[in-house]
């Protein structure tokens, strides 16, 4: 390891995890969703190589700091577990640990180990409200853009805005046709291919919007009351929900709480009648031709104004609100993905974002407490994931973007969705892990594992294009996504190698009639990885401990009460040696990829490679 300053080493557990370790998973926190007044036991595993005299936890009760000493517990031949029992006095409990000795004063928080004072922004967090739905822990989702997945033989009306296309034609480039190209995919087509979805191994489908609109993406809803007739209407949805339920596949809807479409009756009534309640649903601006504020100044996307209680009632608070209706048994959604959740309720001096976010959460809790609420955030704001609003976010900032930057071979894609006016950077393994840690350290563990991890989506280029067709690198990225904390989501077609250089270009159809262009070998590997992710306890309940971080490869542990999993990912050919002795582990079983045994792993690959192993303790209990 190259020489670096001590401060940097302490701040970089990923480079050397032989430091004290704690995260929010079940090994370290006895209850991650306690009630106020409950006691919670916090544990830290400390390798014998790390020496200190005393250790304390520092937390806050009613805003005032308190410190409690840790006591030594279970001891092995390489590490000792230290613990402390604390009382939960507030909705949010922030805490960090300090290790002291003569000449030593080091803080452990969610960002790492520091030899100087730190603030509370990266403290570990416990939230005293019910947690995310437990079923997401063992879920893998499959994102479907309804117009492009599968087309039944049913004939549906073609709206006047649409430019009909043949099923196997590629989308046109950026042009006047973007958003208008209609391929005719429908919900019956999805139902007819549910066996394929089940065979892939996924147990959830995330649909981009299925409401009527004036575009193929449907983020400009002209109604939230029913399913778009082009997709088969409510009848097709009811049939799909029933068929999906039989296969134990949950369905996630997509809601635009930030705006509606210019074709929505709310807007028509608001324009016609200035005294109507709908008039208060929008912002008005006489300086623009259309007279109202549009999201990003787009007339097609009128911005919603949550100063209106009537709008709040219609959207989420009322008995028959949009949020509640589609979660009811009749309509059968298992949760919502909220479009541009970061901008909902915000415009100029108005900031009702937290009120609306928490209102949506409350509405869901009232009618379906086990529904999942995940938001799209254009960028990352930690307070959005404090446990009181969204369960999680689409983890672009803390996963997809750093992974792209680590594996990309096509940097010119980098502007666009990366949100930066320059080409995508190329980063090292250390930068990858530190980018991930920047995201995870600022939020409760529960919000990390309730966030969606993804490599791409309907809004981005596809990973196969990002890596310039390198299947081995693509597989490494998939293996990382399917082993990292969070809820994996595969964009339909990624598993067969579909490409696409930007959002609309990536929204390609799947050729079901002629599968000769499918990457069948890649598909077979994804099935194996999905199976492992869904059924291995270490990946379902485990924490995250970095074992090795180098420029071209990373290795990490996912440890639960029942099982410990070791994952190895490289982005290119590598020669690597992993020594498990300092961690008290030996290989028990190879689940995927590079085979290994014993406590020393040697890898010499000719291309990007991946491995998933079960490890077991080699430690002898002391005392």
pLDDT digits (tens, 9 = 90+) for 471-504: 999 999 999 999 999 999 999 999 999 999 999 9
In a domain, 547, yes or no: yes
Choosing from 521, 538, 555, the residue where a domain stops is 538
Band (pLDDT 50/70/90 cuts) for residue 620 is low
DSSP state of 399: I
Q: Tell me, what's the pLDDT at 174? A: 84
Structure tokens at 581: 């002795």
Nearest-angstrom CA–CA distance, 84 and 68: 7
Asked if residue 343 and residue 486 are part of one domain, the reply reads: yes
Asked if residue 560 and residue 519 are part of one domain, the reply reads: no
Asked if residue 268 and residue 254 are part of one domain, the reply reads: no
Asked if residue 45 and residue 171 are part of one domain, the reply reads: no
Task: Please say if the pLDDT value at position 79 is more than 50.
Answer: yes
Asked if residue 250 and residue 322 are part of one domain, the reply reads: yes
Asked if residue 218 and residue 115 are part of one domain, the reply reads: no
Asked if residue 323 and residue 248 are part of one domain, the reply reads: yes
Q: Tell me, what's the pLDDT at 499? A: 97
Number of domains in the chain: 4
Choosing from 98, 127, 156, the residue where a domain stops is 127
In a domain, 437, yes or no: no
Residues in Cβ contact with 458 at an 8 Å cutoff, skipping those fewer than 6 apart: 143, 145, 208, 217, 491, 503, 506, 507
Q: In what order do the strands lie in the sheet with 250-255?
A: 392-393, 372-375, 335-338, 250-255, 204-207, 141-144, 487-491, 452-454
Asked if residue 273 and residue 177 are part of one domain, the reply reads: no
- In this structure, are strands 372-375 and 392-393 parallel, antiparallel, or unpaired? parallel
Asked if residue 562 and residue 469 are part of one domain, the reply reads: no
Q: Tell me, what's the pLDDT at 431? A: 97
Which tens digits make up the pLDDT trace of 377-424?
867 789 999 999 999 999 999 999 999 999 999 888 866 567 778 888
CA 96 to chain centre: 25
Band (pLDDT 50/70/90 cuts) for residue 550 is very high
- Considering the chain, what is the average pLDDT of its residues? 94
Asked if residue 389 and residue 250 are part of one domain, the reply reads: yes
Asked if residue 283 and residue 154 are part of one domain, the reply reads: no
**Mean per-residue pLDDT for 523-537?**
98
Task: Please say if the pLDDT value at position 429 is more than 90.
Answer: yes
Nearest-angstrom CA–CA distance, 330 and 241: 9
CATH of residue 13? 2.60.40.10
Phi, psi angles (nearest 5°) of residue 4: -140, 165
**Mean per-residue pLDDT for 3-24?**
59
Q: What percent of the chain is predicted at pLDDT more than 90?
A: 91
Parent domain of 593: 542-617
Asked if residue 315 and residue 244 are part of one domain, the reply reads: yes
**Mean per-residue pLDDT for 571-580?**
97
Q: Tell me, what's the pLDDT at 417? A: 61
């Amino acid at each position: 390891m190259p020489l670096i300053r001590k401060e940097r080493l302490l701040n970089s557990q990923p480079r050397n995890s032989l430091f004290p370790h704690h995260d929010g998973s079940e090994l370290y926190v006895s209850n991650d969703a306690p009630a106020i007044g409950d006691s919670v036991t916090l544990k830290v595993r400390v390798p014998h190589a790390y020496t200190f005299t005393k250790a304390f936890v520092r937390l806050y009760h009613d805003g005032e700091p308190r410190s409690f000493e840790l006591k030594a517990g279970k001891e092995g031949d390489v590490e000792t577990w230290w613990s402390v029992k604390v009382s939960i006095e507030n909705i949010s409990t922030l805490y960090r640990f300090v290790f002291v000795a003569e000449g030593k004063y080091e803080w452990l928080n969610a960002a790492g180990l520091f030899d100087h004072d730190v603030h509370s922004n990266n403290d570990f967090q416990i939230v005293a409200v019910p947690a995310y739905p437990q079923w997401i822990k063992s879920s893998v989702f499959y994102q479907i853009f309804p117009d492009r997945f599968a087309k039944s033989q049913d004939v549906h009306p073609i709206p006047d805005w649409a430019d009909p296309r043949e099923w196997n034609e590629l989308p046109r480039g950026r042009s006047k046709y973007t958003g208008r190209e209609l391929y005719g995919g429908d919900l019956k087509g999805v139902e007819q291919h549910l066996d394929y979805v089940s065979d892939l191994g996924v147990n959830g489908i995330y649909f981009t919007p299925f409401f009527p609109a004036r575009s193929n993406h449907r983020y400009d809803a002209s109604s939230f009351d029913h399913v778009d007739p082009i997709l088969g209407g409510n009848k097709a949805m009811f049939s799909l929900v029933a068929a999906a339920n039989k296969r134990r596949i949950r369905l996630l809807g997509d809601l635009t709480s930030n705006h509606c479409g210019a074709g929505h009756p709310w807007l028509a009534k608001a324009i016609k009648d200035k005294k109507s309640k709908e008039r208060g649903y929008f912002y008005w601006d006489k300086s623009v031709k259309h007279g109202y504020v549009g999201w990003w100044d787009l007339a097609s996307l009128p911005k919603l104004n949550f100063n209106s209680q009537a709008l709040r009632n219609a959207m989420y608070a009322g008995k028959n609100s949009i949020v509640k209706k589609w979660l009811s048994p009749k309509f059968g959604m298992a949760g919502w993905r909220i479009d541009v959740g970061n901008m909902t309720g915000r415009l100029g001096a108005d900031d009702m974002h937290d009120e609306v976010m928490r209102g949506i959460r409350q509405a869901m809790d009232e009618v379906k407490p086990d529904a999942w609420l995940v938001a799209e955030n254009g960028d990352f704001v930690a307070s959005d994931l404090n446990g009181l609003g969204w369960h999680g976010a689409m983890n672009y900032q803390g996963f997809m973007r750093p992974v792209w930057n680590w594996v990309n071979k096509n940097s010119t894609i980098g502007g666009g969705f990366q949100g930066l006016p320059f080409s995508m950077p190329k980063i090292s393994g250390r930068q990858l892990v530190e980018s991930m840690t920047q995201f995870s350290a600022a939020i409760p563990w529960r919000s990390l594992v309730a966030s969606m991890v993804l490599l791409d989506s309907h809004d981005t280029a596809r990973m196969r294009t990002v890596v310039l067709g390198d299947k081995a690198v693509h597989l490494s990225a998939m293996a990382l996504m399917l082993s990292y904390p969070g809820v994996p989501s595969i964009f339909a077609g990624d598993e067969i190698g579909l490409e696409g250089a930007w959002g609309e270009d990536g929204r390609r159809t799947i050729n079901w009639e002629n599968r000769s262009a499918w990457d069948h070998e890649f598909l077979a590997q994804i099935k194996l990885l999905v199976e492992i992710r869904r059924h291995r306890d270490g990946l379902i309940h485990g924490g995250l401990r970095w074992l090795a971080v180098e420029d071209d490869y990373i290795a990490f542990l996912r440890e639960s009460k029942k099982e410990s999993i070791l994952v190895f990912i490289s982005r290119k050919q590598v020669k690597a040696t992993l020594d498990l002795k300092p961690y008290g582990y030996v290989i028990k079983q190879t689940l995927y990829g590079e085979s290994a045994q014993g406590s020393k792993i040697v890898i010499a690959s000719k291309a990007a490679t991946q491995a998933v192993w079960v490890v077991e303790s080699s430690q002898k209990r002391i005392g």
